[in-house]
Amino acid sequence: MVCGGGGFIGGHLVADLLRQGHKDVRSVDVKPFKEWYQKLPQAENLRLDLREKEACEKALKGAHTVYNLAADMGGMGFIENNRALCMLTVLINTHLCMAAKKYKVKRYFYASSACVYAADKQTDPNVTALKESDAYPAMPEDGYGWEKLFSERMCRHFREDFGLTTRVARFHNVYGPLGTYQGGREKAPAAICRKVIEAKLSGKHKIEIWGDGHQTRSFMYIDDCLKGTQAILASDIIEPLNLGSSELVSINQLVDIVEDIAGLKLKRSYNLTAPKGVNGRNSDNTLIKKLLGWEPGIKLRDGLEKTYAWIYDQMEK
């Protein structure tokens, strides 16, 4: 059962599970089928609003394994301006946990976010990588981050009180082909790729960057996300675990890489009033390396080349 299967990560996960030979994959999303990122006929595809308790029960009936990737979210431009919508996602995980308990689901995965981390630990672009314990004392991203942290606790207490086997990963900026690259919900890698491609196709060699360009992040390619998600669900790790690349780059460096892929240099302007999030965020992978003997390792340049090529093809059409 993949909740949010019509989304970017969910669609890739459904495809991966089918590639592995699973014959009993169910995919659920609130979006109309024509808006799904990937709709695979080999899966059982349902359109349901998982904020509703009855929809969650319909989705999970007969399920043994649940991946909850469903959320109303996007990049900083979306989550800073839609805090109430992001908070309402709490209904999804709450009702899914209730349904999972009712139907005695064997394993339940919750996709949390690096936005749960305390803001005062992310004020410097030269950030110290965030370890799992840095989520407390709590002061997460307003709206979206609070919902994620609350839902982590919900999973913990359903495990402790009701015996539901829950696993939680904190995703750090996932990107790749078939993702959102326009419309307001896109994240930085796709947004930068789109802007560079627009400049290349139009001949107007300029780009607007949100913030001063010095803010730093790490970005995880979708294949690493899929591998880590399934490994964490199959593990005995009961506490939330970072799932992200530890390759830290500034937004200016991200633009440098995409410009190099495109083969051009652009004149940069900086929109200091645009949403930019925290000044610095990176994943401390000490714990995942210790517990799984693995960490996301696909280089940003390699992932961006594939992402850029896919977005270029879409825009050229």
- 211 sits in the region (left: phi over 0; alpha: psi -120 to 50; else beta) called left
**Phi, psi at residue 69, to the nearest 5°?**
-110, 5
Of 37, 108, 144, 312, which one is the catalytic site residue?
144
Q: Which residues pair with 270 in a beta bridge?
A: 209
CA distance 111 to 307: 22
Report the amino acid identity of residue 284: D
For residues 135 and 118, give the distance between their C-alpha atoms in angstroms, rounded to a whole number: 6
144 is catalytic: yes
Bridge partners of 175? 221
Whole-angstrom Cα distance, residue 194 to residue 231? 32
Phi/psi region, residue 176 (left: phi>0; alpha: psi -120 to 50; beta: rest), is: left
> CA 81: distance to chain centroid?
18
Name residues whose C-beta falls within 8 Å of residue 193's C-beta, 6 or more positions apart in sequence. 181, 258, 304, 307, 308, 311, 312
Tokens of 114: 């690096």
Angle at 28 between CA 43 and CA 179, to 5 degrees: 90
Q: How many CB atoms lie within 10 A of CB 175?
A: 24
Q: Burial level of 273, CB count in 10 A (0-12/13-18/19+)? A: exposed
Active-site residues, by number, are 144
